[in-house]
Amino acid sequence: MPPAIIVNDVSKKFARSLKRGMIYGLSDMARMALVPRRWQSEGAEARMRDAGNEMRETSCGMRDASSASTESESDSAVPGSLIANPGSRIPTPASRIADPESRISHPVTEAQLRPTEFWALRNVSFTLQPGESVGLLGANGAGKSTLFSVLSGIYAPTYGKVSYRGRLQALIALGAGFHPSLSGRENLYINAAILGLKEKEVSAIYENIVDFSGIGSFIDAPIKNYSSGMIVRLAFSIAVHLDPDILLIDEVLAVGDAAFQLKCAKYARELVNSGKTIVVVSHNMLIIQMMCRRSIWMDHGTILQDGDTHQVTRDYQQFMLMKSAEEKTKSIDSGVRFAAMILQVEWLDAEGRPCPKLTWGKPHQLAIEFEAHEAIEQARFWVEVSAVGKEGLVMGVSMYDDGHYLDIKPGRHRLLVHWDHLPLAQENLYQVCVGVRDWSGQIMLADSFASRLFEVNHHGPLCAGEPAGQTSRLLTPLVAAPYRWTANDGMQLHAFHKPST
Amino acid sequence: MSGREHPDGYTSYDGIGYERLSLSAWRVMVRELIDYWELIRRLVIRNIAGQFRQSFLGYIWIMLPPIATTVVFSVLQKARVVNIEMPEGSMPYAIFALLGMTVWGYFTQLTMMATTSISNAGGLVSKIYFPREVLVLSAVGNAIVNFLIRLVVVVLTFLLLQYAPHWEIVYYVVLLIPFTLLGVGLGLLLAPINTMMNDVGRLMEFAFQFGMFLAPTVYPTPDIATANDTWQSLLFWAHQINPVSHYLYAAHELVQHGTLTFGPGLQAAVILSFLVFLVGWRFFHAIEPLLAERV
C-alpha cells in the first residue's frame, strides 16, 4: 500500500509582531506576484545552501551538547530514583539527519529569519500508512496545530512538501462558517458545501448526520440557540460523514459529553479498521493511548520522538513532570520559606539499598530525606501514590489517619515508611507525593515533594499456587497493607493511639 | 484543491506553491471556479437569508440609500439650493439621479464587499481550506442581488413618474458584464492587501463616498464645448478618466435615446475592465496561500 500521508522536511515560519508580519506579508505577496519564479528559486537556493552548511555544523554541535547533557543528567540522577534516564531514548538531531527517510534538504536556521520571526515547524518529516492511527503530543506551541494547518492546506509550508492520498478532513475548527441566525439544517448544508460536498451528496447523508449528532428537533432552530456542545456535535457529525480517507482530530473530542465522546471514539476505531488514517492531537494521554498505536512527540517545531504510543506517552509525561517540578523548584527559591524542606524521596528494598524497580508483595521502604530549618513540634507527614494517567489516588498513608506525629530537631533527617508487602499491583508508572503539615493540618511545614516516576513489577502470584501470568491485574489494592513509620535519632515519633492498621 | 493533484492520487502542497505562477495556473483557476460554484451559490443564499433574519423592514434597507439620495437631491434641486442644469430634452432629474445612484451604488457595494470579503471571513479562512476566490465571488453575488432589488425601485419610479424608458435598456445587461468584472478585479486585487491593512477598505470607502460627487451620478457631466472656465473642464476630465462614468453615460443614453455610442471612452473602459479583472484574478490566485496566516 502506498503511504497515506508523506510529510517531507516541512518548515514553516511566522512573525510574532503584527506590524512586521504585515510588512513581511506585503513584501512576500509582492515578491510572489511580481518576481519571476526563475529569480526567486535561484536566490532562495543559494541562501539555503549557505544556511545548510551552517546548519550541519550547528547540528553537530547540538549533538555533542545534547549527548553530554544526557550523560551528566544520568550521572546526577540519584540512584534509586528508579526510572531510566528518558533523555537516552530521545533521538538527537544528528540521528534524525542520519535517518535516510527524513533527509533534510532545507535545514532551517535562525539566520534565515527576519526580525520577530520564528520557526513554528522545523524540518518535520514522517510518513503514515493507511490504517494507521497516530497521536500527536507536545506542549502548547509545539507546532501541532501548525502541522495540521499545513496538512489541510490552510498554510503553505515555507519549505518542504506534504502529500496525501484521498480525501483529507481536518477537525480543527468545528463550526467554522456557521451563521448564528440560520437554522441547523441550513448551516449543515453550507458547512458541507464549504467542506467540498455537493448538494445531492449532502441530502443523501442528511438523516445520518442528524441522527449521529443527536440534535433531534433542534435541527430547525437557529444555531445561536444551541449550546456549545450541540454546535460541536453537529459540526463533528458533518465532518465524519464526509467519508474522509484521512481524519485530523485536534482536541475536539473533549467538548462533547461522555456519551458523545464514546460514540466518537468508536467511530474513529471503525475508520481505522476500514483502512483510514487518523491523526489525533490531544493532551489527554488516555485518549491517545486508546486511539493510537503510534505517537509523535513534537517540541518547539521539531519531532522529538516518533514511535510506539506506550513509549512516547511515557517519556512525554516524564518530561512534562520534570519540567513542572523544575518550575516548582524555581518558585520555591524565590518564594516562601517553610520550616522544613523535603530533599529527596526514594524507594529502598528491605535491606535499605536503593531499589531501581519495585516488586509487588515484597518488603520495601520509602525514605523521606528532609531538612528542618528550626525545631518543629507535632509535624505530621503524608504519602500519596498516584498512577500516571489515572485519576485519583492508588495508595495513601498519612499520620493524620494513623495518629502519629513527630517532634523534630533542627538538621537533616530521614523518615522511613516500611511495607512488609508492597501493595502496588500492576505494571504501571507511579509517582509518590510527600507532604508535611502541622498537627491540625492547616499549616504547611514544607513544600510537598513529588518523586520521579517509578515502576512496579508484578512477578509474584497474588495467591500461592496461582501462575504468575493469570493473576488479575489490580490497580488499587483491595487489601489493607500494613506499614510503619521509623524515625532517626533527631526526631521523636509519637502515637497518641494505636494505629488502626 | 489548492495543491497539485497528481495522477497517482496524491494531493500535495509545497513551499509557497510556485506552480501558482506558471501559465497552467489559469486552468486550475477555472477548474476551481467550476468545482466550487455550488459553494458560491450557497454562501450567497446564506448571506442574503442571514442578513435580514432579525429585521422588520428587511430588504427595504437595501432599497433605501439610492431613494434617499435621490429624494434629497431632488428637493435641493427644486428648492434651488443646488442648480443642476439638465441638457435640453433630458429625462426628469429624479430619474437621472436615481439611475446614477443605482449604478454607482452597485459598483461601490460590489467593490467594497469584495475587498472586505476575505478579512470579514477571517475565522473561516484560517480554519478551513477552500479556494479563497469563493469568498470574493460570493460577496459579488450578494452585490448583484442587492442591485437587482434596487432595480425594482427604478422600475417603480418609471411607473410613478410615468416615464417610459426605451426598451433598448435591456442591452445594458451586456455592458454590465465588463462593469461587474471591473469591480471584481478591483476586489481581487485589494482583498488580499486588505487582510493585512484594513486601511485599504477604509480608503476605498472614503474614495467611493467622495468619488460619487466627481462622477456623473447626481449631475450631468459639463459640456466641454461650452465649458467657459478651467474648473468646468477640469470636472469634465475628472469624469472622463473615470471608467465608471462611461458606464453611467451608457445607462443614461440607453434609457433616454435607446442608442449606445461605443465611443473611445467606453471602449477604453471596457478594455480596462477586462484587464483589471484578469490581473486581479491572477494576482489573487498567486498569493492565495499567504492569506490564511495574515487574516
Question: How distant, in Å, are the alpha carbons of A25, B25, B133, B295 from that of B20?
Answer: 17, 5, 14, 20
- Residue B42 reports pLDDT greater than 80: yes
Amino acid sitting at position B244: V
Q: Cβ–Cβ of A156/B290 closer than 8 Å?
A: yes
Q: Cβ–Cβ of A163/B193 closer than 8 Å?
A: no
Q: What is the average pLDDT across A392-414?
A: 85
Would you call A177 exposed, middle or buried from its count of C-beta atoms within 10 A (0-12, 13-18, 19+)?
A: buried
| DSSP secondary structure letters along A195-224 | TT--HHHHHHHHHHHHHHHT-GGGGGSBGG
Please write down the HEC assignment for all residues of B45-112: HHHHHHHCCCCCCCCHHHHHHHHHHHHHHHHHHHCCCCCCCCCCCCCCHHHHHHHHHHHHHHHHHHHH
Q: How far is residue B110's CA from residue B178's CA, in Å, rounded to a whole number? A: 13
- Residue A331 reports pLDDT greater than 80: no
Cα B81-B87-B90 angle, rounded to 5 deg: 100
CA of B210, closest CA in chain A: separation in Å? 27
Share of chain B above pLDDT 70, in %: 93
Residue A38: predicted pLDDT: 56
Q: Cβ–Cβ of B128/A195 closer than 8 Å?
A: yes
Partner-chain residue, chosen from B9, B196, B289, that has the shortest CB–CB distance to A165: B9
Residue A98: predicted pLDDT: 36
Where does the pLDDT of residue B14 fall: very low under 50, low under 70, confident under 90, or very high at 90 and above? low
- Residue B205 reports pLDDT greater than 90: yes
Q: Cβ–Cβ of A173/B127 closer than 8 Å?
A: yes
The pLDDT tens digits of the residues spanning A67-102 come to 333 333 333 333 333 333 333 333 333 333 334 444
| DSSP secondary structure letters along A355-367 | -SSEETTS-EEEE
Rounded (10°) CA dihedral A430, A433, A439, A443:
-150
The pLDDT tens digits of the residues spanning B53-71 come to 777 887 888 889 889 988 9
Kind and range of the H or E run holding A280 = strand A277-281
C-alpha cell belonging to residue B76: 435641493
Q: What is the average pLDDT across A299-305?
A: 90
CA of B284, closest CA in chain A: separation in Å? 9
Q: What is the average pLDDT across B40-53?
A: 84
Residue A80: predicted pLDDT: 34
The pLDDT tens digits of the residues spanning A7-25 come to 888 888 888 877 787 788 7
With beta carbons under 8 A apart, name residues in chain A contacting B128.
Answer: 152, 154, 170, 172-173, 176-177, 194-195
With beta carbons under 8 A apart, name residues in chain A contacting B292.
Answer: 149, 154-155
Q: Cβ–Cβ of B290/A37 closer than 8 Å?
A: no
Residue A427: predicted pLDDT: 61
With beta carbons under 8 A apart, name residues in chain A contacting B189.
Answer: none
| DSSP secondary structure letters along A445-501 | EEEEEEPPPEEEE--S-SSTT--GGG----SS-SSPPPEEEEE-TTEEEEESS----
Within 8 A by CB and 6+ apart from A133, the residues are A268, A272, A277, A278, A279, A280, A291, A292, A293, A294
Q: Cβ–Cβ of B15/A181 closer than 8 Å?
A: no
Q: How far is residue A79's CA from residue A268's CA, in Å, rounded to a whole number? A: 43
Strands (E) in A63-221, as ranges, are 117-128, 133-137, 159-165, 168-171
Q: Cβ–Cβ of B21/A194 closer than 8 Å?
A: no
Q: Cβ–Cβ of B17/A156 closer than 8 Å?
A: yes
Mutation choice for B interface testing from A194, A231, A238 by most B CBs within 10 A? A194
Q: How far is residue B193's CA from residue B8's CA, in Å, rounded to a whole number? A: 36
Chain B (11-50) residues lying within 8 Å, Cβ to Cβ, of chain A: 11-18, 20-22, 38-39, 42-43, 46, 49-50
Q: Crossing angle of helices A228-240/A199-213, nearest 10°?
A: 130
Mean pLDDT, chain A, integer = 75
Q: Is the ipTM of this complex over 0.90?
A: no
Rounded to two decimals, the pTM is 0.71
The pLDDT tens digits of the residues spanning A130-185 come to 888 899 988 888 888 888 888 888 888 888 888 888 888 887 767 677 888 888 88
